[in-house]
Chain A
């Protein structure tokens, strides 16, 4: 009889990953592991950890696209190894980017001749786009001041306090002062009058937002333009306007085509828009368009000679993937004007369904307007019992991510919940969330009423020392302890949210 000996090291590839040692070993966190592991194990380990991330499509905080057609996914995967900046080697990809720039420039009514090419570029997002636009304004202003023999050390930019955090980044990193127009109760966007007042000789531009992050409103760019034209006439400063159309840029042209906010207004010199918001592309693409050559100082542009044709480039990032640019082009030709219009109209209709459902509960005030980015921002009519943060927290248990925010100054006492309606938020989802919100309200109603003042303390007499003398000891009831904990936690979240403020990532 032959006694067969089991081989001490069985072939690792035979083991199912969950039978192998790789799911027993602690996961490397701070140092690179010494040894390699099989690719299936690496895939499984990471995939499993990522299960605990939120579900992107249920993330109603974000404007950023979370769904694209499978055909586009195919295009994305096949171009994932193409380095976008390689214009020589990938001339078609470069041309697709140029086509997108031209299409968007025409969409924004840039004053171009028939065969004139638009001035603009693709970026990684609106942050980069805004920094490039701001850089152009700063350089133009410096050149103008230098030529006039005036000081150039104190540039500033005028915006509303509702501005997204990337403007603050721009200001801090590029050493420009940020002059913010404060909001007020009931008026949550930049007031054009106040903005024009803040403008001085050091202002490099005024930034208006088409689609405010907090409540989706479109700022009145036309009014701002008119006021600024007048002021410019009096002062002789040539203060221009930049429109941050990160969200609104792919909405207004389709459902509010008569709204004048783009290059139809003479003082608007540059516009940025996020391809990855209502441009309907996955995260990682934005666009910035300038009115004309004059608005982009040549000294900021690096020239690359593309076998005879001059390729000007002006971006902060260099090597990056081509996938999103190709995906944007796909969307532009796949959907066309009518397709985008239909998508935006659907979003608006679903927004109305949600809004009406919320109004019908009788418990909410709607803070967002109907004209603007399709979102619903709402506050509790009565938040003495519980507040918006608690509603947000409980909704998470149903799978929904609905953020709660406090407004920036001077409306910090106002807290809103906000649901963004994206392309993939269908009517059934809208109806379902209304039902879930009602369930949440019901649950919160059942909680005991919170005490606004310091928690009352019940005093009881107890014989602790055992020496017969009774002492009065402040003893908290279980309820009070619970309340204290809840209050502490609520305060903690509120502080966090306040600090988050507009940093609350998704925009």
Chain B
């Protein structure tokens, strides 16, 4: 009798094992040092995919303006172009041309004063941050050149914005050594006041930045009024202070819903505009656009020239190598949707925002802080915050799956705390109705919970308790501990700069 001894070929075992039967899900996952050995690709895929399950669901992230859904056909185009390096103009001339077409389409959308055969001046970027830095750089260089020619000092440039400005302006100011002069907000007025802004303008101001679609409330700033006031001041002072419009969110809303609103190049002092392709441009994160009014507004010495087989390709970006997918996706959206498609989508967003707003109002517990004209979002605060705060509502909503952020306003309205829901293309009416019912549930739940807010923030009640040894031990009641935790946590979140914009 032959006794067969089973030989276990360890290699064969590994490839036969289902990933969850293998040793790869037993080993600790590498965190600080590169692992020495390779692992099978299925294991690597599964490990990472499983960890990522614990990330938030992008489509339920109502904090973000950034697109979270695109058509499958576009996904196909994106996959096919993942390995194309966008900066390679020689090798990928069609991709380069698609970018140029997008720039031209956007420039025309904003009424740039260009002839029909004249190329628009603009570029695709990774997002509005890069776009804003490029625009700011152009203004800074123009201003420096002008001051140098006049023999005046140019070491103290500044930029005037509202305190509601998004963090990338602060980055620009800090990294490029420009002073940021912020117009403070006030209760009930959460955008930049054009009158105050113009007052702040001095000879060192390189530009005034207005926002079309404030991050906090979605409001459009009054660019036309700013232009009027600035034109007057320019005439008196002789400084030629220009305007930049940060249309990161509003740039793909205003032209479709409010075509008569004059905020773009129709306004003479507006020299450059940035818009995020990945917000209401309806493309996945990673694309923004900046367009200048004309060649004169972009100093030549900032532009690097590449000769593309006979025609001149000027480039002016901070990033170099990057993927082409988002540019192609943007062009897809432009020709797929066209003007009417974008208009329909924006109208849907406004409609769904209205449904949400009315549902929230009907609970009777909230004040609506956002306006009807602007970016389709609903910002709301509690009528009565003495028992519970919006931070708790935000926290409880997360348990239902929704991510609804709670923010404090910047100076001088820091006491105002709001919740904000952004209505994106993929936020349908059914989701709006569901969210309203979940908000009602949360509010009702909070009514039953003890209050975690104390009127005074002075010393908490302390009950002295004698323990076994007879020493008096300070013991906090359960409620006080909770209050302390809530205060601590609120304090952490209080100064949070709103990341997603």
Which residues in window 150-179 of B have CB below 8 A to A?
155, 167-168, 170-171, 174-176
Instruction: Tell whether A316 is near chain B: CB-to-CB under 8 Å.
Output: yes
Among A65, A326, A401, contact of B83 (Cβ-Cβ < 8 Å): A65
Return the chain A residue nearest B315 by Cβ. A503
B288-330 vs A, CB cutoff 8 Å, 1 = contact: the mask equals 0000000000000110111101000000001111111010100
Binds A, one of B28-36, B233-241, B436-444, B452-460: B28-36
Please name all residues of chain A whose beta carbon is closer than 8 Å to the beta carbon of B272 when the two chains form the complex.
Answer: none
Return the chain B residue nearest A504 by Cβ. B90
Could you tell me if A165 and B304 are in contact, using CB atoms closer than 8 angstroms?
yes
Instruction: Tell whether A384 is near chain B: CB-to-CB under 8 Å.
Output: no
Could you tell me if A43 and B73 are in contact, using CB atoms closer than 8 angstroms?
yes
Binds A, one of B61-69, B346-354, B371-379, B414-422: B61-69
Instruction: Tell whether B276 is near chain A: CB-to-CB under 8 Å.
Output: yes
The minimal Cβ–Cβ distance linking A210 to chain B, given in whole angstroms, is: 17
- Contacts A73-B79, A86-B64 given; does A53 touch B84 at CB 8 Å: yes
A128–B309 CA distance with the chains assembled, in angstroms:
28
Instruction: Tell whether A66 is near chain B: CB-to-CB under 8 Å.
Output: yes
A66–B85 CA distance with the chains assembled, in angstroms:
9
A90–B319 CA distance with the chains assembled, in angstroms:
24
Among A42, A68, A79, the most chain B Cβ lie within 10 Å of the Cβ of A42
Instruction: Tell whether B274 is near chain A: CB-to-CB under 8 Å.
Output: no
Binds B, one of A234-242, A304-312, A355-363, A473-481: A304-312
Could you tell me if B499 and A128 are in contact, using CB atoms closer than 8 angstroms?
no
Interface range for B: 35 or more
Could you tell me if B304 and A319 are in contact, using CB atoms closer than 8 angstroms?
no
Please name all residues of chain A whose beta carbon is closer than 8 Å to the beta carbon of B39 when the two chains form the complex.
Answer: 333-334, 336
The minimal Cβ–Cβ distance linking A39 to chain B, given in whole angstroms, is: 5
Among A68, A92, A102, A401, contact of B55 (Cβ-Cβ < 8 Å): A92
The minimal Cβ–Cβ distance linking A158 to chain B, given in whole angstroms, is: 21
Instruction: Tell whether A399 is near chain B: CB-to-CB under 8 Å.
Output: no
The minimal Cβ–Cβ distance linking B23 to chain A, given in whole angstroms, is: 14
The minimal Cβ–Cβ distance linking B231 to chain A, given in whole angstroms, is: 29
Could you tell me if B171 and A125 are in contact, using CB atoms closer than 8 angstroms?
no
Return the chain A residue nearest B341 by Cβ. A36
A342–B36 CA distance with the chains assembled, in angstroms:
12
The minimal Cβ–Cβ distance linking A423 to chain B, given in whole angstroms, is: 12
Which residues in window 315-332 of A have CB below 8 A to B?
316-322, 324, 326, 329-330, 332
Could you tell me if B127 and A318 are in contact, using CB atoms closer than 8 angstroms?
yes
Please name all residues of chain B whose beta carbon is closer than 8 Å to the beta carbon of A342 when the two chains form the complex.
Answer: 38
Which residues in window 53-96 of A have CB below 8 A to B?
53-54, 56-57, 59, 61-62, 64-69, 71-93, 96
Among B34, B326, B331, the most chain A Cβ lie within 10 Å of the Cβ of B34
Number of A residues near B (Cβ < 8 Å) is 122
A129–B167 CA distance with the chains assembled, in angstroms:
20
A425–B23 CA distance with the chains assembled, in angstroms:
32
Among B301, B322, B334, contact of A284 (Cβ-Cβ < 8 Å): B322
Could you tell me if B501 and A319 are in contact, using CB atoms closer than 8 angstroms?
yes
Please name all residues of chain A whose beta carbon is closer than 8 Å to the beta carbon of B501 when the two chains form the complex.
Answer: 318-319
Instruction: Tell whether B411 is near chain A: CB-to-CB under 8 Å.
Output: no
A132–B68 CA distance with the chains assembled, in angstroms:
29
The minimal Cβ–Cβ distance linking A379 to chain B, given in whole angstroms, is: 21
Instruction: Tell whether A45 is near chain B: CB-to-CB under 8 Å.
Output: yes
Could you tell me if A53 and B78 are in contact, using CB atoms closer than 8 angstroms?
no
Please name all residues of chain B whose beta carbon is closer than 8 Å to the beta carbon of A72 when the two chains form the complex.
Answer: 41, 45
Please name all residues of chain A whose beta carbon is closer than 8 Å to the beta carbon of B38 when the two chains form the complex.
Answer: 334-336, 338-339, 342
A53–B61 CA distance with the chains assembled, in angstroms:
36
A254–B475 CA distance with the chains assembled, in angstroms:
58
Return the chain B residue nearest A66 by Cβ. B83
Please name all residues of chain A whose beta carbon is closer than 8 Å to the beta carbon of B81 when the two chains form the complex.
Answer: 50
Instruction: Tell whether A174 is near chain B: CB-to-CB under 8 Å.
Output: yes
Please name all residues of chain B whose beta carbon is closer than 8 Å to the beta carbon of A67 when the two chains form the complex.
Answer: 83
A174–B136 CA distance with the chains assembled, in angstroms:
12
- Contacts A88-B403, A92-B54 known; list 20 others, CB within 8 Å: A28-B105, A30-B101, A36-B340, A45-B335, A74-B45, A77-B78, A78-B52, A81-B285, A85-B500, A102-B33, A126-B321, A282-B82, A283-B82, A284-B286, A307-B492, A318-B127, A319-B276, A336-B34, A338-B36, A499-B306
Q: List 27 A-B contacts (CB under 8 A).
A: A32-B109, A36-B336, A46-B328, A50-B95, A77-B78, A83-B285, A86-B64, A124-B319, A128-B318, A169-B318, A174-B175, A300-B174, A302-B171, A305-B495, A316-B318, A317-B130, A317-B319, A319-B285, A320-B285, A324-B323, A330-B44, A332-B35, A333-B47, A333-B48, A336-B38, A336-B39, A504-B90
